[in-house]
Amino acid sequence: MRESTMIANALSPVMGAEILDLDLTKALDSATFEAIHQALLDHLVIVFRNQRLSAAQHVAFSRRFGDLMVHVKTEYLLPNQPEVLVLSNKKHSDGRPVGFEDAGRYWHSDMSYVEEPPLGSLLHAIEIPPEKGDTLYCNMYMAYEALSAATKRRLEGLQASHSYLASFEGKTKSGYARDTLTEEQKAQLQEVTHPVVRTHPKTGRCALYVNPGFTVRLEDLPKDEAAELLGELLNQVSKPEFQFRHVWQPHDLVFWDNRCTMHHATPYDTQFTRHMHRTTVKGDRPFAA
Ligand code: OGA
Ligand code: MN
């Protein structure tokens, strides 16, 4: 097989890389596809600059990595392309929001509340404000590795429950518009359990897999101990030394690995438009090796 000439430039010592000189509207040869996949595993968050992708091209590129997932908030999916979730502060002419206005303003790993959570998400910036609205990322390998040996031992075999409803109960949100769910949407959202420390299926490395957005409880421990330990872990994964800040440029496509990162949206001046499309690639059921 031909070697790829693609170059991924690291953006920080913690994670993140920028990939220039690729046009994702064009068909990808398998060497370039492999190089992109490897860059994701090596850098956790990869940024493709200046991608003028249609929704169909965004979907086609994303599909190379696996089946795509459809978000429970069907009102924010593109009508002809349900694999695309819209994040936007635009309104339809009747005043209804076009997309999620305030998605993810708390630390989370996308859809950790399903049995087979996504391996990654691809977010395309179509229109962005002149400043702010950055996205923060946390390296969950580093967060795990930095724990004391004693804490790592306490986490062996431990499971945690994840629930989407938690983020709607005001537990994780503060001070901004609260979205709603229909009874039908709620019915689709059962709580699930995942190991607290998961083994990345491709790299074999251990990563913490708890997040303030959706992790509601640690299982099989006395209640007080569970709450105290979860608090300690959520504190661990919020530390700045594990973080990377992505400052958006128009037409960035950012691909992050949900198995070993969390992310956090930040506010911006809503007199400006922020309009983005997300696809979500299905992953495996998390396991602890
Ligand atoms: C997401 C998300 C963060 C942002 O698309 O999953 O959390 O900054 N987005 O828009
Ligand atoms: Mn998210």
Q: Tell me the C-alpha distance between 138 and 141, whole Å.
A: 9
Q: Is 196 strand, coil or helix?
A: coil
Average pLDDT of the residues in 25-46: 96
Q: Is 135 in the pocket of ligand 1 (CB under 6 A)?
A: yes
For residue 277, the ligand closest to its alpha carbon is 1
Q: Which atom of ligand 1 is nearest to the CA of 104?
A: 7
Residues in Cβ contact with 39 at an 8 Å cutoff, skipping those fewer than 6 apart = 6, 8, 17, 19, 46
251 is catalytic: no
CA distances from 43 to 98, 108, 140 (A): 32, 18, 12
For the question of residue 71 being annotated catalytic, the response is: no
Residue 113 pLDDT > 80: yes
Q: Are 263 and 138 in contact (CB under 8 A)?
A: yes
Predicted structure pTM score: 0.95
Q: Which residue has tokens 């170059």? A: 7
Confidence tier at 196 by pLDDT (50, 70, 90): very high
Question: Is the CB of residue 278 below 6 angstroms from any atom belonging to ligand 1?
Answer: yes
The predicted pLDDT at position 178 comes to 56
pLDDT score, position 176: 47
- How many CA atoms does the CB half-sphere of 221 hold within 13 Å? 20
Query: Which residue among the candidates 110, 194, 257, 264 is catalytic per the annotation?
Result: 110
The number of the ligand 1 atom at minimal distance from the alpha carbon of 274 is 10
pLDDT in tens, 116-170: 999 999 999 999 999 999 999 999 999 999 999 999 999 999 999 999 887 676 5
**What are 279's two structure tokens?**
């696809």
Residue whose Cα lies nearest atom 8 of ligand 1: it is 265
DSSP per-residue codes, 17-45: EEE-S--TTSPPPHHHHHHHHHHHHHHSE
65, 34 contact by CB (below 8 A): no
Report, in this order, helix, strand and coil percent for the chain, each rounded to 5: 20, 30, 50
Q: What DSSP element (H or E) covers 208?
A: strand 206-208
**Pick from 62, 125, 78: which is nearest to 274 by CA?**
125
| Model pLDDT for residues 224-253, shown as the tens digit of each residue | 999 999 999 999 999 999 999 999 999 999
Q: d(Cα 252, Cα 196) in Å, to the nearest integer? A: 32
